[in-house]
Structure 1
Amino acid sequence: MRILIVDDDEIDIALVKRALSSSLQNSYEVKEADSVAKGLALIEAETFDVILLDYHMPEVNGIEMIIDIRSRPNLGNTAIIVISAAQDSSIALNCIEAGAQDFIPKIDISHVKLHQAIIHSKKRFEMEQRMHESYLALKNMAETDQLTGLHNRYYFDETLKFMIANSDRSKLSVGMLALDLDDFKHVNDSLGHHAGDQLLVDLVARVKECLRINDGFARLGGDEFAITLANVHSVEEVNMIANRILSSFQKPFLIDGHRIKCTISMGAALYPNDAESRVQLVKCADIAMYRAKQNGKNALRFYESHYQNEFNRRFLIQSEMSEILRKSSFRLFYQPVFCAHNDKIKGVEALIRWPDTPKSYTPDEFIPIAEETRLIHDLGQWVLTTALTDLASWQRRFDSNFAMAINISALQLQDPQLTQKIIDETTRHGVRPDTIILEITETALLEDDEVTRETLHSLSSQGFKIALDDFGMGFSSISHLNNFPIDIVKLDKSLQNKVPSVNNKKSLLEAVTLMLKLLNFIVVAEGIETEEQLLVCHELNIDKIQGYLLGKPMPGNILEEKLLAQYQ
């Protein structure tokens, strides 16, 4: 057993060495040092099983040496016994609390006492080491994301606290990047969670290559990540790192034989430029990242103060929308759809409206929020139930063939139970499927998702009519007309000529209408606001017309008055 004696008193050293040599276990290899500095130098160069340390030492005392040793990896790998001329119990307690395994007054030193202390201290230290290793393992589990090996939210928060405090001293900024994988759910849904997990692991490896050695990288949950940048001198530093990360995603990922084109949305914020605290910094970066997603994804956005107002407004809309849904106090307006040949109302489109309250929001504001928060499923169910209740009444009173168009979002089409939900409602209200038109936009078809395809075909097979809305705006892919069970095409109002002297718009509308007619689609013209536009629709033999010229969206009771007048 190798023992190091650290003591500045030659007589005390001799006393300890004599006790060691008198031990029945005469197998000690002893070295000595007369100062803490020399003792630390020796344990740097050699390995010792036990250190016998004098408490009172010149310049640096024994407790400081204990603290130094115990701060090293694996607690310094050495048991420590403090030997002191003082017999004060408080000194002994301080030494034990600092990390020593035992304390022996010099007056009590004997070969038996010393030998027992060495054996017991070494065993006690081995147990402490095992406990320390267990603690480190648990600490690592508590601070580390098990999938990616990155630090988790807890460690991220603690590190950011330290970085903010250091920034206040150094007068340099702290940068934060909030990262979110775009459309990650699609990967999980189409390839499975194993592929999703592997994508996250590969993503982390790719991002790490873009970071500096001292940059922090944490997984906050799901597909949300955060990067912390210390000692930032300028916004350009953050911009450079962020764009390096964005560029790295131009190359597809290869997961289980599939090439996955993956993008990320990033938000950036700086302390103290944008925020006054750690919590505010995180919030600002999240708001900026959210803004990047809103503006088309695969982008970086720096925080700007007006984002906060937008964020607060969105949060307010979300909260109020949940309460309004609970009370079923949304409103439905109905816009008439006219037969182009006789200007009779042949059906309506159901349009959701915010309740008549002091604070009111347009569908363009609250529907995207409903989609992002998944409230769209409950909202869609409310619209379906309310609209079919009115439709059943109007069919009984006026015309059994009276039609109702209901908008269905891309997210609703992802629900495998959607077809059954709609069938259940039509059955409950006693209306025929062929009088119900389900309107979708082309954005719902862009991914060509298998669930969407199956849902549309199942709805069509049950007799429901499928209408493609806003055709002529955006992609307007002809393949969608062929690949999906579309019955009706609604021409976007952007195709309508608002200035009579401009003829090229008429030519475009004529060409699109002729094509759709040749393909046997029912054609509906939206956005008819002038007599000239109405005349063009008649000339082109368009089937149905919808627009403010003939009828604005209106409450159900106003529509009933018009129907009464029409069917008298």
Structure 2
Amino acid sequence: MQILVVDDDSIDREMLRISLDEAGKGGYDISEATSVESALALIEQQRFDVIVLDYRMPGADGIELVIEIRSKPRLGGTAIVMTSGEDDDSLALECIEAGAQDFISKEDITRGKLEKALLHAQKRFEIEQRMHQSYLQVKELAEKDPLTGLSNRYHFEESIKVVIANNQRTGASVALLALDLDDFKDINDTLGHSAGDQVLKEAVRRVSMCLRNNEGFARIGGDEFAITLSNISSISVITIVANRIKKAFNAPFMVEGREVRCGISIGAALCPADANESQGLLKCADIAMYRAKQKGKNQVCFYELHYQEEFNRRFDIQNAMRNIMEHASFRLVYQAIFSTETRAIIGFEALIRWPAAHGAYTPDEFIPIAEESRLILDLGRWIIKTAIEQVAHWKREHKKELSISINISPVQLSDPELVSYIVKVADLAKISNRDVILEITETALIKDNEKISQSLKALSDLGFRIALDDFGMGYSSVSHLLHFPIHIVKLDKSLQLADANEGKQYGLLKGLSLMLASMDFTVVAEGVETEAQLQTCAKLNIDRAQGYLLAKPSEPTDIEKLF
């Protein structure tokens, strides 16, 4: 056993050496030091099993040496027995609290007591070390994310309080970046959670390469991360870091031999400019990040006060939707679709409306919120069931061949139970699958999601018809018409002519209608509001027309008048 005796009194050192030699019978290797400084020098050079340390030392006393040793992990792997000429319980307690494992009065030192003190000190130190190691492991589990090794939300929120306090003392600003991977759920849904974990770890590696060592980086949710930047003197510093991170996501991720694209949306907030405490700062950065998502994803957005109002409005709408779905009901209105040749009603499109008794939000406002919150899954099922049962009733009541068009969102198409649900509803309503038309927009196809493709194919194979809505508005790809099971194309209302049938717009409308007819698509013209527009549709052999000239969206009771 390697023992270091630290005592400035030569007689006391000799007595200890004699006692140790008798106790150990030559098995102890003893070194001596006469001061705290010389003891530290020896400890730096050599590892000792036990240090026998005098409480009273010239210059720095023994307690200071204990504190110094315990503060440095590389010096702290040694058991310590404190000695003193005073036999005082409070002194003994002070030594133990400082980090010693045992205390023995010099008056009580005998061969047996000293040997026992050494063994007890070693054993206590081993137990303390094991307990400390367990504490560190529990602490790491409590503070670290197991997948990425980053700080978790709890540890991040605690550390940001310290960062804010430190910067407040110096008068500097703190920036918080909230990061969220774009369309990460699609990766999990398409390739599985193992692939998703690979993307997360690679994303962390890329972001880490853009940061300095003193910048806090944490995973605070599934695919949500946060970064603190301290001592900010200019917003340009934040912009540079955020754009560097965004650029790091330009390259595709390689997952199981496949290229996967994944952007990142970043929201930034400043303390004290936007908030002066941690929770407020996190909230502001989250709102800015949410705004970056709304602006088209893969964006950097700084917090602005009016975002808070918009965020609150969206929050209110989401809560109101939950309440309506639980305690009341939305409204469905129906807009008739006519044959351009006979001007007879051949079907209806179901359109959802906010219930009059609960405010006045438009579908353009609440449907995106329903999709983001996934409330669209329950809401969509209610729409499907209500619309199919309604048209089935009209078919029986009026002995007419009618179809019902129902708008389906990409979120619904990713639901593995959607197909079986629609089949069940149509079967119970005793309506032909062919009479149910499911309208999708090109945004559903742009996602290139395997589940969406599978759902569309399954629905088509079962006889349901698929309509591509808003064709010609913004981004339109003819390839979608070739690669997806589409039966009906609805021309966006922006293609309707404002004046006479001449000019480029007429040529565009004519070209599109001829192309779609040659590909055997049923074509529906939306937004028909004048007689001239209806006549143009008939002239161009567009199959069906829908618009305010023919019928406005109406309550079911008013539809009876159309029949």
Number of the residue aligned with 2:516: 516
Tell me by how many angstroms 1:554 deviates.
Answer: 1.6
Number of the residue aligned with 1:307: 307
Give per-residue Cα distances to partners, 1:395-418, cap 9 Å, x unaligned: 122233122111111111122322
8 A Cα contact 2:501 2:536, kept in partner:
no
Superposition TM-score, scaled by structure 1 size = 0.94
8 A Cα contact 2:190 2:451, kept in partner:
no
Please state if 1:541 is matched with 2:548.
no
Tell me by how many angstroms 1:59 deviates.
Answer: 4.5
8 A Cα contact 1:487 1:521, kept in partner:
yes
1:23 counterpart SS class: helix
Q: 5+ unaligned residues in a row in structure 2: which ranges?
A: none
1:474 counterpart SS class: coil
2:211 counterpart SS class: coil
Number of the residue aligned with 2:72: 72
Number of the residue aligned with 1:360: 360
Number of the residue aligned with 1:382: 382
Please state if 1:169 is matched with 2:199.
no
Judging changes above 3 Å, is the alpha-carbon distance between structure 1 residues 391 and 212 closer, same or farther for their aligned structure 2 residues? same
Tell me by how many angstroms 1:501 deviates.
Answer: 8.8
Judging changes above 3 Å, is the alpha-carbon distance between structure 1 residues 515 and 46 closer, same or farther for their aligned structure 2 residues? same
**Aligned AA (1:154):** Y
Distance 2:458 2:180 in 1: 34
Distance 1:211 1:354 in 2: 47
Number of the residue aligned with 1:157: 157
8 A Cα contact 1:5 1:30, kept in partner:
yes
Distance 2:438 2:308 in 1: 37
**Aligned AA (1:535):** Q
Bigger mean CA offset, 274-283 vs 16-25: 16-25
Number of the residue aligned with 1:566: none
Number of the residue aligned with 1:488: 488
Number of the residue aligned with 2:474: 474
Number of the residue aligned with 1:441: 441
2:416 counterpart SS class: coil
Tell me by how many angstroms 1:450 deviates.
Answer: 3.0
Number of the residue aligned with 2:424: 424
Tell me by how many angstroms 1:118 deviates.
Answer: 1.3
Bigger mean CA offset, 186-195 vs 158-167: 186-195
1:148 counterpart SS class: coil
Number of the residue aligned with 2:252: 252
Distance 2:11 2:318 in 1: 80
Tell me by how many angstroms 1:471 deviates.
Answer: 0.5
Please state if 1:316 is matched with 2:341.
no
Please state if 1:135 is matched with 2:145.
no
Aligned residues between the structures: 563
Number of the residue aligned with 1:12: 12
Tell me by how many angstroms 1:356 deviates.
Answer: 0.6
Give per-residue Cα distances to partners, 1:214-237, cap 9 Å, x unaligned: 112212232111222222222211
Please state if 1:226 is matched with 2:226.
yes
1:357 counterpart SS class: helix
Number of the residue aligned with 1:196: 196
**Aligned AA (1:356):** A
Number of the residue aligned with 1:373: 373
Distance 1:191 1:432 in 2: 35
8 A Cα contact 1:3 1:50, kept in partner:
yes
Moved over 4 A (4+): 499-502
Give per-residue Cα distances to partners, 1:421-450, cap 9 Å, x unaligned: 111111211222222211111111123333
Tell me by how many angstroms 1:288 deviates.
Answer: 1.2
**Aligned AA (2:307):** Y
Judging changes above 3 Å, is the alpha-carbon distance between structure 1 residues 61 and 530 closer, same or farther for their aligned structure 2 residues? farther
Distance 2:246 2:484 in 1: 35
8 A Cα contact 2:44 2:75, kept in partner:
no
Within-5 A mapping of 1:342-357: 342-357=342-357
Distance 1:23 1:341 in 2: 114
Distance 2:546 2:114 in 1: 101
Give per-residue Cα distances to partners, 1:444-483, cap 9 Å, x unaligned: 1123333222322222232222211101012221122222
Number of the residue aligned with 2:110: 110
Tell me by how many angstroms 1:163 deviates.
Answer: 0.9
Number of the residue aligned with 2:120: 120
Please state if 1:3 is matched with 2:10.
no
1:212 counterpart SS class: coil
Number of the residue aligned with 1:52: 52
8 A Cα contact 2:186 2:449, kept in partner:
no
Tell me by how many angstroms 1:502 deviates.
Answer: 7.0
Within-5 A mapping of 1:395-410: 395-410=395-410
Bigger mean CA offset, 56-65 vs 309-318: 56-65
8 A Cα contact 1:330 1:355, kept in partner:
yes
Distance 2:12 2:273 in 1: 62
Give per-residue Cα distances to partners, 1:278-323, cap 9 Å, x unaligned: 1111111111111111111111111111111111111111111111
Tell me by how many angstroms 1:200 deviates.
Answer: 1.5
**Aligned AA (2:117):** A
2:274 counterpart SS class: coil
1:549 counterpart SS class: coil
Judging changes above 3 Å, is the alpha-carbon distance between structure 1 residues 501 and 36 closer, same or farther for their aligned structure 2 residues? farther
Number of the residue aligned with 2:334: 334
1:150 counterpart SS class: coil
Distance 2:309 2:262 in 1: 30
Tell me by how many angstroms 1:328 deviates.
Answer: 4.1
Judging changes above 3 Å, is the alpha-carbon distance between structure 1 residues 423 and 23 closer, same or farther for their aligned structure 2 residues? closer
Please state if 1:526 is matched with 2:514.
no
1:3 counterpart SS class: strand
Distance 1:57 1:272 in 2: 50
Distance 2:502 2:39 in 1: 95
2:463 counterpart SS class: coil
Judging changes above 3 Å, is the alpha-carbon distance between structure 1 residues 136 and 25 closer, same or farther for their aligned structure 2 residues? farther
1:523 counterpart SS class: strand
Distance 1:328 1:395 in 2: 27
Question: Quick one: percent identity of the two aligned structures?
Answer: 55
Tell me by how many angstroms 1:18 deviates.
Answer: 3.7
Give per-residue Cα distances to partners, 1:19-56, cap 9 Å, x unaligned: 33443433433333343343333322332221222223
Distance 1:442 1:192 in 2: 25
Judging changes above 3 Å, is the alpha-carbon distance between structure 1 residues 281 and 59 closer, same or farther for their aligned structure 2 residues? farther
8 A Cα contact 1:328 1:382, kept in partner:
no
Tell me by how many angstroms 1:177 deviates.
Answer: 1.5
**Aligned AA (2:191):** L
Please state if 1:394 is matched with 2:394.
yes
Distance 1:448 1:193 in 2: 18
8 A Cα contact 2:43 2:75, kept in partner:
no
Number of the residue aligned with 2:85: 85
Number of the residue aligned with 1:504: 504
Distance 2:281 2:265 in 1: 17
Distance 2:60 2:498 in 1: 90
1:514 counterpart SS class: helix
Give per-residue Cα distances to partners, 1:70-124, cap 9 Å, x unaligned: 2222770111111122322122122212221101112212232222211221222
**Aligned AA (2:48):** F
Bigger mean CA offset, 297-306 vs 146-155: 146-155
Judging changes above 3 Å, is the alpha-carbon distance between structure 1 residues 354 and 59 closer, same or farther for their aligned structure 2 residues? farther
Number of the residue aligned with 2:284: 284
Distance 1:315 1:414 in 2: 24
8 A Cα contact 1:74 1:129, kept in partner:
no
Tell me by how many angstroms 1:189 deviates.
Answer: 2.5
Judging changes above 3 Å, is the alpha-carbon distance between structure 1 residues 449 and 20 closer, same or farther for their aligned structure 2 residues? closer
8 A Cα contact 1:490 1:526, kept in partner:
yes
1:179 counterpart SS class: strand
**Aligned AA (2:112):** V
